[in-house]
């Protein structure tokens, strides 16, 4: 496996069908599942590791975001990647970018409403990575559901010839969706954080039991979080998978997304719900049966 710092090197080393996994590092099994999916479908697997300042508001955790390149390199090498693209800031942003990518409408609800400018930062860096790496396919986790909607729309609108693949959420053994930010949680916060996935599993059970009302499903998702002291719900929303617009009833491919704050940490979770032969099937994701590599040092 090669570690490179420039787009030119990343492109030169790649051959055949290129599968690309963009990350901000501090990798966990969710990222590794994306590398696995890319490995199955590609000749070259390129993983980028770059903490993108453009997608953090000044009040957010850019400075404290966990970083450990040696650890990440060892993990992606073990997962069978071919190239790690770990650019310095000057490669990604040689000067303050005057060009930003804004994806309207799909970024207005949920995370977009709470984190103004966040999705401009995401869309801008992903567009730059797509232009610089020139992959055939790019792999994103479904945990960041609205990000996936935004990237799909940006890719279509800008005619990037790149196939976007969304992969199921990977969860810790008690259900908490994996996130590099889980490392911020202290013992009490970690217990409170579990309420998000408790709500998600209850939503999945309700959908399987025939519930179709957006309001009822949102209440089911919010219930365990509202009942838990020390965690504050930002939203519980049933949204359209294509537009990320809020919907009243489960009548099209959808996701029920929640976001909450525990101490200084914001956490997201969701259940994607897809039609299958006249029925609606919730995807609860994949649960680890051991402690996550997230807690493993280099
Ligand atoms: O999902 C992430 O880790 C980031 O938002 C991404 C897509 C790598 C862009 O910085």
Say if ligand 1 is within 6 A of residue 180 CB: no
**Would you say 107 and 139 are in contact if contact means Cβ atoms under 8 Å apart?**
no
Question: Is the beta carbon of 148 within 6 A of some atom in ligand 1?
Answer: no
pLDDT exceeds 90 at position 184? yes
Say yes or no to pLDDT of 297 above 80: no
**Closest by CA position to 185, among listed 263, 258, 260, 259:** 263
- How far is ligand 1, taken at its centre, from the CA of residue 126, in Å? 8
CA of 88 to the centre of ligand 1 (A): 16
Return d(Cα 148, Cα 29) in angstroms, integer. 18
What is the chain's mean pLDDT, rounded?
A: 97
- CB-based contacts of 212: which residues, under 8 Å, 6+ apart? 249, 250, 251, 280
Distance 278 CA to ligand 1 centre (A): 34
- Give pLDDT tens digits for 2-14: 999 999 999 999 9
- pLDDT of 298 over the 80 cut: no
Buried b (16+ CB within 10 A) or exposed e, 64-100: ebbeeeebbbebbeebebbbbbbbeeebbbeeeeeee
Q: How far is CA 111 from the centre of its chain?
A: 12
Give the pLDDT confidence score for residue 231 in this predicted structure.
98
Tell me the pLDDT tens digit for each residue of 35-52. Answer: 999 999 999 999 999 999
Give the Å distance between the CA of 202 and the centre of ligand 1.
Answer: 28
Q: CA-CA distance, 11 to 225, in Å (whole number)?
A: 45
Residue 144, ligand 1, Cβ within 6 A: yes
Helices 214-226 and 187-208 sit at what angle, rounded to 10 degrees?
Answer: 160
- The reply to whether ligand 1 has any atom less than 6 angstroms from the CB of 150 is no
- Per-residue confidence at 169, pLDDT binned at 50, 70, 90? very high
125-142 pLDDT, tens per residue? 999 999 999 999 999 999
The helix (H) or strand (E) run that includes residue 151 is: helix 145-157
- What domains are defined for the chain? 2-167 (3.40.50.620), 180-295 (3.30.1300.10)
What pLDDT score was predicted for residue 296?
A: 80
Distance 246 CA to ligand 1 centre (A): 23
- pLDDT for residue 257: 98
Nearest residue CA, atom 5 of ligand 1?
122
- Asked if 125 and 99 touch (Cβ cutoff 8 Å), the reply is no
pTM for the model stands at 0.97
Told to judge if 163 belongs to the known catalytic residues of this protein, a careful annotator would answer no
Residue minimizing CA distance to atom 9 of ligand 1: 122
Query: ∠171-175-178 over CA atoms, to 5°?
Result: 30
Q: Is 146 in the pocket of ligand 1 (CB under 6 A)?
A: no
Mean pLDDT of 65-73: 96
Whether the CB of 35 sits within 6 Å of ligand 1: no
Instruction: Write out pLDDT tens, residues 70-126.
Output: 999 999 999 999 999 999 999 999 999 999 999 999 999 999 999 999 999 999 999
> What average pLDDT does range 152-181 have in this prediction?
98
Chain centroid offset of residue 45 CA: 19
User: In this predicted structure, what is the pLDDT of residue 205?
Assistant: 98
Q: What is the pLDDT of residues 243-259, one digit of tens each?
A: 999 999 999 999 999 99
Across the range 182-203, mean pLDDT stands at 97
């Amino acid at each position: 496996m090669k570690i490179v710092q420039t787009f030119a090197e990343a492109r030169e080393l790649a051959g055949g069908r290129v599968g690309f996994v963009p990350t901000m590092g501090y990798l966990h099994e969710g990222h590794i599942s994306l590398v696995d999916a890319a490995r199955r479908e590609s000749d070259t697997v390129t993983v980028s590791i770059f903490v993108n300042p453009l997608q953090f508001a000044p009040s957010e955790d850019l400075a404290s975001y966990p970083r450990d390149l040696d650890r990440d390199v060892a993990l992606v090498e073990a997962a069978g990647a071919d190239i790690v693209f770990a650019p310095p800031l000057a490669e990604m942003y040689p000067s303050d970018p005057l060009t930003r990518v804004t994806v309207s409408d799909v970024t207005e609800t949920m995370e977009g409403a709470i984190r103004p400018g966040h999705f401009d930062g995401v869309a801008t860096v992903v567009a730059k990575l797509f232009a610089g790496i020139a992959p055939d396919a790019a792999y994103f986790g479904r945990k960041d559901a609205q990000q996936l909607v935004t990237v799909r729309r940006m890719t279509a609108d800008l005619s990037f010839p790149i196939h976007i693949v969304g992969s199921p959420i990977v969860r810790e053994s008690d259900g908490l969706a994996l996130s590099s930010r889980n490392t911020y949680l202290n013992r009490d916060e970690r217990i409170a954080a579990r309420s998000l996935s408790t709500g998600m599993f209850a939503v999945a059970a309700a959908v399987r039991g025939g519930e179709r009302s957006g309001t009822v499903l949102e209440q089911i998702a919010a219930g365990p979080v509202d009942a838990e002291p020390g965690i504050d719900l930002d939203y519980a929303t049933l949204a359209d998978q294509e537009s990320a617009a809020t919907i009243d009833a489960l009548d099209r491919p959808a996701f029920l997304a929640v976001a909450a704050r525990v101490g200084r940490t914001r956490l997201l979770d969701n259940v994607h719900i897809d039609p299958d032969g006249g029925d609606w099937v919730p995807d609860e994701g994949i649960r680890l049966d051991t402690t996550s590599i997230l807690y493993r040092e280099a």
